[in-house]
Structure 1
Amino acid sequence: MNISVVIPLLNEQESLPELHTWITKVMQANGYTYEILFIDDGSTDQSWKIISELAAADTHVHGLRFLTNYGKSQALHAGFAAALGDVVITMDADLQDNPEEIPALFQMITSDNYDLVSGWKKKRFDDVVTKNLPSKLFNWAARRTSGLDLNDFNCGLKAYKNQVVKNIEVSGEMHRYIPVLAKNAGFRKIGEKVVKHQARKYGETKFGMERFINGFLDLITIWFLSRFGKRPMHLFGAMGSVMFVIGFFAAGFIGINKLIRLYSDLPTIRVTENPWFYIALTTMIIGTQLFLAGFLGEIILRTKNNEPRYKIAEETN
């Protein structure tokens, strides 16, 4: 199979028939072998009914419906697990991503040998204040943190080699950082393509301003995980050791100071009256706790069970 199109969605009943028709037209015009995977992330409208009808009429269509709303990352994870195509294309279901971009993205993966190609919505039709400006700030921070020179990390229109989607874990809200996850997994040839962006035709956006706050928090998380996720002892153990050594030397200073006062004419003071006592006590306790945090992190990494992060209620085809 040439192409798997993975489409996560939430309450997009109006756009689904039009999107299916558009994708089918592009695929047939280019002679691709393909499948379309609709991942219903717990929609409360008629989205699943429409997906079921499309699947009954077209064998290229497959659907997964979550038991409840688990989030876009979980929907993509399920789609990636089910995808059979040599090239996997992701796009949003709101008709803002243009299926006419699929042939060029497919070409970049198959002919130019990119592992991943991320779309860049250079000209956007979103609100400037609530989406465009925060998005620019978010992408700038992501570039500086990840080392990837991409202009639009959060564009839903992307293309991947099949082996990429089978070797990355998209969890939590990490769908914004799939290129970073791919880079961390060892896939280095990551490109970008300017893609057409269209104004939303039906319904309302499912994301508010809170997505940017969550996005920056996730950016910190993925930076930490990329550097220390597989070796937490290297961070917590090092910090703990430094803190413990500071406390140890502070305790040594207290002891030396006490001896000097005992064998001189200087007045003696209680150990608890010396501010260095509290510095030593605090740093040694914090150091021990940080060291234990790193140790426990290493144990968890070696014993964790990869349990499913979502439950599928129904599946078509």
Structure 2
Amino acid sequence: MDVRSVTSPTMPRHGDAVVNLPTVPVEHGVRADIEIRTRPTVSLVIPARNEASNIAWVLEQVPDCVDEIVLVDGRSTDATIVTARSVRPDIRVVHQEGVGKGDALRAGFLASTGDTIVMIDADGSMAPQEIPHFLYYLSHGYDFVKGSRFMAGGGSLDITRLRRTGNQVLMRLASRLYEAPLTDLCYGYIAFHRRYLDYVDLTTTGFEVETRLVISALQSGLRMTEVPSMEMPRRYGKSNLRVVRDGTRVLRTLLRTHENGVSGYAVQRARAWAHHRQTPAVTAVPAVTSVAAAPSTPSAGS
């Protein structure tokens, strides 16, 4: 798998592919060389549920390179939608029908229209100012770009010791199983070309969705790279993340989709054995045949 970690403190502005038109005759001082600059359109997908205290800050930081913002609202009971529209009247609001972060992202991806899709959280933990950094590598040959808190230039001001340990264990397992030198696994700052939407798995519903996106991109042969990202503390409110519960779901996701090599065979055999043990045995019930009662025989002497 082609996964490369890169750092780039400075970079050109995103997009700007130059198309040179055929040379035309010079008339009245008009330049003979005409250049038309075009760039892919960018959709930013933000899943949110009761983030009225945070969404305004996030939307105010979105850079001009983003053409469309899709807010997926998960049945918020606060003023999330009203606040978002007051900051960005052009925002598109999608009402989530299912539950879970994975379901929200799926709804947002399908509703977006940009050539490039970027996903971030609504709690202020991810800086929208980093978006051009992701787009730069998408415009220079990569198909799928993910943020990393644990490579040079990245970091986290929010992660606990337990979360860091769990992420490192899961990340090393993923790197071993899928032969990809990852430095971060459970981080949801991701960007990819829309043309690969059919190749990323959107079937998971919970917080393990980031892991499933990465694994499906690797299995589909997408050219992937990591870029440094700084995770900030959630600005207001309490996170819905549950370390043990969601970590277990990530582990199941890693094992469920690993099928390559000897280890893949062993994992799938173990899963099949465990499934067989959990399936209750069905006891055969003998068929009952109804026999008509024989007419009674009169006793002798009756």
TM-score normalized with structure 2 length: 0.66
Letter in 1 for 2:160: V
Q: Residue in 1 aligned with 2:141?
A: 113
Q: Residue in 1 aligned with 2:201?
A: 169
Secondary structure of the 1:142 match is helix
Structure 1 residue 119: deviation in Å?
A: 0.2
Q: CA RMSD in A?
A: 2.6
Give 1:23-62 correspondences, 5 Å limit: 23=62, 26-27=63-64, 32=65, 34-54=67-87, 58-59=89-90, 61-62=91-92
2:147/2:189 contact within 8 Å kept? yes
For residues 81 and 167 of structure 1, the distance between their equivalents in structure 2, rounded to whole angstroms, comes to 13
Letter in 2 for 1:34: D
For residues 185 and 41 of structure 1, the distance between their equivalents in structure 2, rounded to whole angstroms, comes to 30
What's the CA shift string for 1:113-151, capped at 9, x where partnerless?
A: 100011001221224333211111121112112222221
What's the CA shift string for 1:276-308, capped at 9, x where partnerless?
A: xxxxxxxxxx9xx9xxxxxxxxxxxxxxxxxxx
Q: Residue in 2 aligned with 1:20?
A: 59
Q: Indicate how the Cα distance of structure 1 residues 184 and 49 shifts in structure 2: closer, same or farther if over 3 A, else same.
A: same
Structure 1: gaps of 5 or more residues? 241-285, 290-317
Structure 1 residue 48: deviation in Å?
A: 3.2
Q: Residue in 2 aligned with 1:301?
A: none
Letter in 1 for 2:252: L
2:167/2:185 contact within 8 Å kept? no
Structure 2: gaps of 5 or more residues? 1-39, 280-302
1:154/1:177 contact within 8 Å kept? no
1:153/1:177 contact within 8 Å kept? no
Q: Indicate how the Cα distance of structure 1 residues 15 and 38 shifts in structure 2: closer, same or farther if over 3 A, else same.
A: same
1:124/1:198 contact within 8 Å kept? yes
The number of equivalent residue pairs is 221
Letter in 1 for 2:80: S
Give 1:149-228 correspondences, 5 Å limit: 149-172=181-204, 173=206, 174-187=209-222, 189-209=223-243, 210-224=245-259
Within the alignment, does 1:7 sit opposite 2:41 as a pair?
A: no
What's the CA shift string for 1:20-54, capped at 9, x where partnerless?
A: 1111xx21xxxx35101111123333323334545
Secondary structure of the 1:223 match is coil
Higher helix share: 1
1:153/1:176 contact within 8 Å kept? yes
1:94/1:202 contact within 8 Å kept? yes
Identity of aligned residues (%): 21
Q: Indicate how the Cα distance of structure 1 residues 33 and 177 shifts in structure 2: closer, same or farther if over 3 A, else same.
A: closer
